[in-house]
Amino acid sequence: MAHPKYEPKGLSVPSGRISRLARFGGLTASVAGSMAINGGRQLASGQRPKVNDLLLTPANAARFTQQLAQMRGAAMKIGQLMSMEASDFLPPEMAEVLAHLRADAHYMPPRQLKKVLIANWGSDFLKKFEKFDVHPIAAASIGQVHRAKTKDGRTLAIKVQYPGVRKSIDSDVSNVATLLRLSGLLSDGIDIAPYLEEAKRQLHEEADYQREGQCLAQFSGFLNDTPEFIVPDLHEDLTTRDLLAMSFVDGVAIEVLTDAPQDERDRVMTLLIDLVLREMFEFSLMQTDPNFANYRYEPQTGRIILLDFGATRSFDQELVDNYRTMLRAALSGDQDAICAAAMEIGFLDENTLPKHRDAMLDMFEMAMAPLRTPGLFDFGTNEIVTRLREAGMQLGADRDFATIPPMDTLYLQRKIGGIYLLASRLGARVDVAGLFAKYV
Residues in contact with 433: Cβ distance below 8 Å, sequence separation at least 6, in sequence order: 370, 371, 372, 373, 374, 375, 377
Residue 384, judged by CB atoms within 10 A of its CB (0-12, 13-18, 19+), counts as middle
Residues in contact with 395: Cβ distance below 8 Å, sequence separation at least 6, in sequence order: 356, 359, 360, 363, 401
Residues in contact with 440: Cβ distance below 8 Å, sequence separation at least 6, in sequence order: 324, 327, 328, 331, 371
Can you give the three-state secondary structure of the chain, one letter per residue?
CCCCCCCCCECCCCCCHHHHHHHHHHHHHHHHHHHHHHHHHHHHCCCCCCHHHHHCCHHHHHHHHHHHHHHCHHHHHHHHHHHHHCHHHCCHHHHHHHHHHHCCCCECCHHHHHHHHHHHHCCCHHHHEEEECCCCCEECCCEEEEEEEECCCCEEEEEEECCCHHHHHHHHHHHHHHHHHHHCCCCCCCCCHHHHHHHHHHHHHHCCHHHHHHHHHHHHHHCCCCCCEECCCECHHHCCCCEEEEECCCCEEHHHHHHCCHHHHHHHHHHHHHHHHHHHHHHCEEECCCCHHHEEEECCCCEEEECCCCCEEECCHHHHHHHHHHHHHHHHCCHHHHHHHHHHHCCCCCCCCHHHHHHHHHHHHHHCHHHHCCCCEECCCCCHHHHHHHHHHHHHHCCCCCCCCCHHHHHHHHHHHHHHHHHHHHCCEECHHHHHHCCC
C-alpha–C-alpha distance, residues 429 and 268, integer Å: 10
Catalytic residue among 172, 266, 274, 289: 289
Identify whether 266 is a catalytic site residue.
no
C-alpha–C-alpha distance, residues 288 and 347, integer Å: 18
Tell me the CA distances in angstroms from 202 to 78, 170, 217, 221, 313, one per residue in order. Answer: 12, 11, 19, 24, 9
Please give the positions annotated as active site: 289
